[in-house]
Amino acid sequence: MFELRQVIQRLRMGESARQIARSQHLGRATVESIHCIALMQDWLNPLGQIPDDVTLATFFKTPRKAPQNVSSVEPFREEILKWHAQGINATTMRRALHQKQSKRLKTSAIASCTRRLGSLTRRCVVSSMT
């Protein structure tokens, strides 16, 4: 909400959408949509007050959290670790997992996961094949 207030304040001072977009690392369309709402709500009046967070939240979406990807390789992590330590390649791992679990995984996904297995605390994020 601080960023919105800052954009509104700069619009009040007469800065162009291009200047604000460049300095705030926003798109011009975003600044122009804030400008449009601010005009309709009379927030650009220098004698008026800049709205509080609750008021701003009613007009602007709050940022979403990044989606959490569920790893399709995670259930097979211990087997993949064991096979990787034995020097088994990703193609063979994929075939074995497919025969055992009927789970179709991409060979490249398993290979990239095994490259990152240096640290046991890391999670592997892999999408399954369709």
pLDDT tens sequence across 48-57: 888 888 888 8
- Do 100 and 76 form a contact (C-beta atoms < 8 A)? no
Boundary (domain end) residue, out of 59, 83, 98: 59
Same-domain pairing of 130 and 93: yes
Same-domain pairing of 40 and 85: no
**What secondary structure letter does DSSP report for 73?**
S
d(CA 127, CA 71): 7
- Do 46 and 40 form a contact (C-beta atoms < 8 A)? no
- Do 8 and 38 form a contact (C-beta atoms < 8 A)? yes
Same-domain pairing of 121 and 90: yes
Domain range for 126 is 67-130
pLDDT digits (tens, 9 = 90+) for 20-52: 999 999 999 999 999 999 999 999 988 888 888
Q: Which residues contact 112 (CB under 8 A, 6 or more apart)?
A: 124, 126
Q: What pLDDT, on the 0 to 100 scale, is given for residue 63?
A: 64
